[in-house]
Amino acid sequence: MKTVSETRCFEGVQGVYSHASDACGCDMTFALYQPPQARTHPVPVLWYLSGLTCTHENAMTKAGAQAWAAQHGVAVVFPDTSPRGEGVADDAAYDLGQGAGFYVDATEAPWAPHFRMWSYITDELPRILFRNFDLEEGCQAITGHSMGGHGALTIAAHFPERFRSVSAFAPIANPTGSDWGRKQLSAYLGADEARWAAHDASLLIRERGLPMPLLVDQGTADDFIDLLKPEALAASIAERRQPAVLRMQDGYDHSYFFVASFMADHMAFHAEALFA
């Protein structure tokens, strides 16, 4: 692992690091904010998964998480959204290929050699983090925005023993029923829709629920709301009788202005669960 940069931030350290990834078969970069409390003891970890077109940098600089992370004593990790570099498959569309990994392990050409973001986020990057930083492995939470909200919800559903809470900002909530999902899942996983279901939060919650606190914020002025399908998530939560807080935020769009507006709420929500 190489240190790209480390910068003092709210009395903690905002770092950027790179490493050779076995899962993705290329170099990967991630950011980690360590609050001031990390100087004296291991701290809990919040995973923040970003959306389409983002790198590690977008949320690191725009989401406003560090001030609240420092207040609560929580580390925040910002992974990249896909493999990158020479020889890594790409597509001219912004919603497929580099910047659009969709947090799955691709099985189809030309994506299969590198697009293994599920294994990277759930296995390889955690091992790197807990080996190199003084973090509390038994005290984790997860959140994300848009495509990253999809990733946060689906990963939490598959690893309920790992996370104490999950939240999402405007998640792609029902990708098997949306053009933001059907296109990508068929490209990465093939035509068998039964394989897609493991990566659809609405289907997973209806099937198995989420045994942890759940918070979702969605803007009513979001240009992509018809692709995100918050109503499908709400229906699954109601059918499962899943404890959850779903908030439709009047007038907010899909941007980082929306994310930053409610970041304090999400950080407090996760801190309550992490320190319970």
Instruction: List the pLDDT tens digit at each of the 276 positions of the chain.
Output: 999 999 999 999 999 999 999 999 999 999 999 999 999 999 999 999 999 999 999 999 999 999 999 999 999 999 999 999 999 999 999 999 999 999 999 999 999 999 999 999 999 999 999 999 999 999 999 999 999 999 999 999 999 999 999 999 999 999 999 999 999 999 999 999 999 999 999 999 999 999 999 999 999 999 999 999 999 999 999 999 999 999 999 999 999 999 999 999 999 999 999 999
Q: In the prediction, which pLDDT does 53 show? A: 98
Other beta carbons within 10 Å of 44? 24
d(CA 159, CA 200): 14
Residue ranges with strand state E in 83-180: 135-144, 163-169
pLDDT at 132: 97
Question: What is this structure's pTM?
Answer: 0.98
Cβ atoms within 10 Å of 276's Cβ, excluding its own: 9
**What is the reported pLDDT for 35?**
98
**Residue 205's pLDDT is what?**
98
The span from the first CA to the last CA of the chain, in angstroms, equals 33
**pLDDT on residue 134:** 94
Q: Give me the amino acid identity at 188.
A: Y
Query: Residue written as tokens 């004593």?
Result: 73
Out of 3.90.25.10, 3.40.50.300, 3.40.50.1820, 3.40.50.2000, which CATH number does the structure's domain 2-274 have?
3.40.50.1820
What local confidence, expressed as pLDDT, does residue 245 receive? 98
Q: What is the pLDDT of residue 123?
A: 98
Amino acid residing at 213: P
- State the catalytic residues: 146, 222, 254
Residue type, 194: A
- How far apart are alpha carbons 105 and 114 in whole angstroms? 9
